[in-house]
Amino acid sequence: MERKLAIARLHELRDAAKVFNNQSNPDQEFYHWRENVLTALEDVFGRNSPEYGEFDEVRFEFFPADVVPVEEFMQLSVTASPVMRLDSSHYFHERLYQADEILLGLLTLLKRESK
């Protein structure tokens, strides 16, 4: 993909992600956006590139089973509070921010290389 087209496409995808800031969890529209980003990154950098891999590794889903159980956590830390609340919305928004940073970094890289 031509560099100017790649920059325009990544800008477009980055801007499109702003609608997800009002959501608390990923939905079908979000997963469609994510696939479009991966397709664009594959076209620009290649599927086996670090750029593609870095974005692909971002996990937007929150799986409580992946979290250490409170009992186990309490054994690890004497100062831990027995009350823990996990907010999947906060997790999703942190991952959106991470994805935005990746795209911004890649746009900066592409712009530098086009000069």
Domain that holds residue 104: 3-113
Average of per-residue pLDDT values in the chain = 84
- Looking at residue 84, its pLDDT comes to 44
Instruction: Give 35-89 pLDDT, tens digit per residue.
Output: 999 999 999 999 999 999 999 999 887 665 555 555 665 565 555 444 444 567 8
Amino acid at 3: R
Q: What angle (nearest 5°) sits at the alpha carbon of residue 17, between those of residues 60 and 55?
A: 50
pTM value > 0.75: yes
| CB 21, CB 114: distance < 8 Å | no
d(CA 11, CA 54): 18
Report residue 30 as tokens: 């979000």
| CB 109, CB 10: distance < 8 Å | no
d(CA 40, CA 9): 7
Secondary structure tally for the chain: helices H, strands E: 5, 0
